[in-house]
Amino acid sequence: MALLEQAPSPGTRAAALDRIRASLDSLSPSERRVAERVLADPAQVIALAINEFAALCDVAQPTVSRFSRSVGFPSYVALRLGVAADFAADGAAATGGSTDPFAAVAGGLRSDATASEVAKAVRHASRVEVWASPVFAAAASLLAARLARLDVPASATVVPEYCAQRAAALPTGAVVILLGGAGDEEAWLEPINLARAASARIVYVALRSASRLLKLADMFIPLPGTAAVELTGPLLAETLAELVRDISFYAGPPGPASPWRGWPHRRQLLLSTSGAPIPAILLSQPQPAKTPSLVIFYSYVGARKEELAPPQGAGDYVSPYFVSALLNAGHNVLLPDPPGHGERKWVWQDTNELFRAGLLDEGPDYLEQVTTETPELIDAALALGVVSSPAQIAVAGQSGGGMQTLLKLAADPRIGCAVAVMPICDITLLSSFADLGERRRTIAGGPSPRMGNQLAPRPLLLISGGQDIVAPASHIESFHEGVAPAYRRAGAEDNLRYLRLDDVAHRFDGRQVDAMLEWLDRHLSPTSPASKPRRRTTTKARAAR
């Protein structure tokens, strides 16, 4: 039973004393002696080394280690850290001044480190089964309903015979949550063993644990005994659902789109160009669309278009959250495969290797192709008929997709506006290209402040993270400062904005979505003035930039 693999993070609880109380009946006599000593004076666990604490309990050191594992900690050191974390978290909660006992119970459950791990397992589960004792029937039904609203396939039952039938048909990646009461041990053993045979993860939640069930569980959450079961159960259901929602990255306005389920208005396309067609996915709004608009979205270097569209793809935890937010905001979204990506290469080829060979003059210059194919891509996007003007087309992307966003906005003056989130402004920051900074194609093809005249006056939002080491804020700030003079000369200072989120690394943050949607709402509408016509950027002109 590996319940807590590492120390709780600051502000969370290990619920160490609750675990010990819930496990008393399953401990051997010598382990119970250790448990009673811990419960009598928890501060001694924090203060004493294992040999000192073993002597105090009049047991051997291996007994203390075995006791620590029995109550869900990999070692005595982890137990000490768990008790200390509980003291700190409970002390901080006490200074908050809340006198609501139910709020205290919910707060304890929410801050339980294992509850957070359970929420992660539930979020990514292929299916969740909630099996409950009759006393927890209402809580089980409530939890299953709340999870279903979060696009987690979930169901609940209190009948052990039904559980055995369901366990035999569990898919790979399933999670079983067992809400156990007193006297359930024998009834639940067969279905739990069947679930484990199907490689399901078992979460055991109980006021008082049953020894054999505890040994079969992967994770254990002890329920506090300070409130009636009729209230503790629903509090658990609501709290666990809230934790799942917190890590689900729902962002932007509410709506029918979700990062965790497919969008029904979806078409696989081959965008017509003078060369080979560009494979793409169009996620369109039901007609009539609220606001005619089209956002062309790109993600990290190597991402296939299928990984960008909801539901979440295994290789990308960011893009489906952006795309679902765009859909809920009323935008149509086009997801093309960039050069050297997805269906635009052989399945055995690696995108990084293709780009690297190109930058070494040993193959096609894929970085240049990102730019040169842009005008035909915009022509093909207009031919889809979802918008009538290129001023209603935006380009957006994150990470390597942010780099492509900058290149494409510079390549076609018809594009209405752009949002680059955590853009790679220097491709040599990526380990695959770190040694290619002096190569001709690297210098000519990557983003550069020299783009200013090609970008201005179109609206451009740049977003960075102060903790980002992949796309450092300093590089994005330098790019912003480099193109700002062109915007000033065009009298369009307000069309260039730089947003730095100081506490964010190279990962998703809901504030990125909020800023993106606000920018698009302001600059991408049928009434937005089209940019001043300019000739398209040719390969020759681009090389001279």
Dump the DSSP string for 435-460.
T-TT-HHHHHHS--GGGHHHHTTS-E
Give 266's strand partners: 283
**Cα–Cα distance between 163 and 189 in angstroms, integer?**
11
Q: Which letter does DSSP use for residue 390 in this model?
A: G
Asked if residues 323 and 333 have their Cβ atoms less than 8 Å apart, the reply is yes
Structural tokens at position 250: 């729902």
Average pLDDT along the chain, 545 residues, taken 10 residues at a time = 47 67 80 87 80 87 86 80 66 48 65 83 93 87 92 90 88 91 74 91 83 80 67 84 88 89 93 91 84 92 90 72 94 96 93 91 91 95 92 96 96 96 89 86 87 95 95 94 96 96 92 96 66 36 32
Q: Which of 283, 238, 287, 295 is nearest to 259 (CA)?
A: 283
- Model pLDDT, residue 14: 62
- Model pLDDT, residue 529: 44
User: Strand 393-398 vs strand 175-180: parallel, antiparallel, or unpaired?
Assistant: unpaired
Order across the sheet with 332-336: list the strands. Answer: 266-271, 278-283, 332-336, 294-298, 393-398, 417-421, 460-465, 496-501
- Model pLDDT, residue 442: 87
Dump the DSSP string for 280-348.
EEEE-PPSSPSS--EEEEE-STT--GGGTSSSPBTTBSSHHHHHHHHHHTT-EEEEEPPTTSGGGS-TT
